[in-house]
Structure 1
Amino acid sequence: MKRPQALTDEQVESYNRDGYLSLRGVLSSEEAESYRKLIVRETPRLGYPPKLKYPASGKYTISGNAIAEPGFASIAEHPTVVDAVEDLLGEPAHLTAYVAYLRSSGDKGSGAHSDYKRWRPVGSSMNWLFTIIPLTDFNDDYGPLLVSPGSHLLSDVIDREARIWDVPRPEAKQLAEFIDPELKAGDVLLMHGHTWHKAPPGTTSEDRCGFFNKYCGVSAPPAAGYYPYTRVALDSMSDPYRRLIPFQSEKPLQTTRLLLEDGDNGDSRFLVLKNPSGRLQLPGGDGWEEMEDVGWDVGARVGSVQELVNQQAGAELSWASYVADLDEDEGQCRYYGYVDPSFDPSTVTAEQAEWLSMDELISSLGESDPICQVASEWKKPDVVRGKGKAVHQRKQQFE
């Protein structure tokens, strides 16, 4: 049974127009103070990056699977927050990033930016938002959070009828003047993933603390792939909210493969290669993490699948889009897909290459084969997919 809408129509309209929405006093002062003390206490043990030693000046984060640490999970499943998130996304949500943060005295803050980043699991969905929850007032003393109203519209989807959604490069010179939503400890700011924002430094010697968790709609997976949560992280959530964790398996991400589609209609075909034993498989193999500029947001395998496909099939692909994670041998395989009307199948140079239709795949392998499972998932019409990029492409992510 569908629950009643938690937000008013006016609140939803305001969010869609401005790219953000403030909810006041979601946490009591006692709750906010309790979370603040938790973050301050655990930052020396759990804080990232490891090169920073609290209380040295800088930004510290407690993220990802640290949600399983005592006291942390409850904020990610706060009913008021989750209901508002799902009202704005228009569907059930997945938690794509769990982040508690602390900016210590002397931190320089951050400049104007949006967090849509095609190379990161946290920022590559086509339907996602932040929940920013200050645990200290975000004022001139601690440092405000400023937002540019309507800036998310600069990155509106180019063609919503396309199989793979794309957005234009936003023009910073078109940004509206940044404003201060005057967030207090315990408020919640729901912010569109394309909304531009900045966080000037404060003047106080006290720490600036809060959460910035990120959620995507379940039908809009991150193009780079989901962050790999553990079973312990899943079990830290209460039963009604375990659904927020896109958990797949205890096995580590080990391999990565690409479903390369030629054609975009009933006549489409998929590239398969014959391995030395004659078995059909998708191009790919052992994957790896691109370490530069990744930090805690791990799991993307776009760079490795691009390189493997180029080595094995000769095809050069500028992007790939996450499809699924399935068990393969002792680990999990992260599958990506690619389809583009401009793709020329003659660029595939592998000698053992075959192009098979869906019916031919099922006839050769059976519906339960991973290739058929991935192809079926890839062709679902109700899944919204974007373009995932490799980390080394981050400065050209809109090309």
Structure 2
Amino acid sequence: MGKTYWEAFKEKGLSRREFLKFATYITGLMGLAPSMVPKVVHALETKERIPVIWLHGLECTGCTESFIRSNAPYASDLLLNVISLEYDETIPAASGIFYEENGELKKAGLIKHLEEIVEEYKGRYVLIYEGGVPLGNDGRYCIVAGRPYKEDVVELAHHAMALISVGTCASWGGIQAARPNPTESVDVATVVHKPIIRVPGCPPIPEVITGTILHLALFGPPPVDDQGRPKQFFGNRIHDTCYRRAFFNAGQFVEKPDDDAAKKGWCLYKIGCRGPTTYASCGNLRWFGGISYPIQSGAPCIGCADKNFWDKDPFFERQKGIVLPNVEVNADKVGMVAAGVTAAALAAHAVASGIRHMKKKDEEQ
């Protein structure tokens, strides 16, 4: 039996207080109520650290770059205290044949290092995919450790406890699947016929990756939508949490990237922003520890978490089918209208008063 999270904490000389702080912290990260803290503590005390195999296919490694920049929790905390990363071709110290030759059975010439891990943790490991799966030329567009990547994608899924597709490449096929798709790149779900948790984004926000892994480690698979995406991170459109939403509602739009409206921070919808149709957490989690995200820096959202976003060009033209406010109304116009309404009301009151006065005078006569 492997070590529990609490046992791993004690081995590192960390106190019970620090352990409880960590439990409280990750409860908030997963979007759980404060009342769930005792259950998180219990899970950390009783559950083993989950072994993880992380595979890489057709990709730019941007998703791993994003993952290691997580601030809540830090990637180092996740790697050292929550999961046991048994295999990853990108971030280990060793690489190439030196990495593949790791393990006693491999040294004896009996089995590959990766196969040894699968045998040891059969039915208990989490399999994470990063990158698309090329089917063209019998999979030879992506060779890992001397064999087509697509073979490992399928074979390792058989004995995995859970599957996660990290990034748009693994979730939807990625940039390399853009027309005419010469490598015949597809998403993992096309070749693996098991439930898959999709974490799309190019790349996903760091805390979305770590938060999904945390939930899986402590409570099992998170609730997902009809596309397999965790609801806690993909339950709202970027439009719903965008700080420029008030400008959209007021009908105030940027027409060109360098116009006066852009300098005022108005809505970017008319220059291609896909926030109204893209489900992601950019507007509330943001990047680099909550500092910013593309829309905040003045760039329209390109919908990188959406399926086939790469072929929905042009990127910088208004999307069709979005209902816009009927008219732009600014404070000056509202003030003028309000003044006009007030004047009309006063005039009506004066007329009514005059009529009543005249009727009263007639009656007296």
TM-score (norm 1): 0.24
> Which protein, 1 or 2, shows the higher relative CO under an 8 Å CA cutoff with sep ≥ 6?
1
Higher strand proportion, which one?
A: 1
Of structures 1 and 2, the larger Rg is shown by: 2
TM-score (norm 2): 0.26
Higher helix proportion, which one?
A: 2
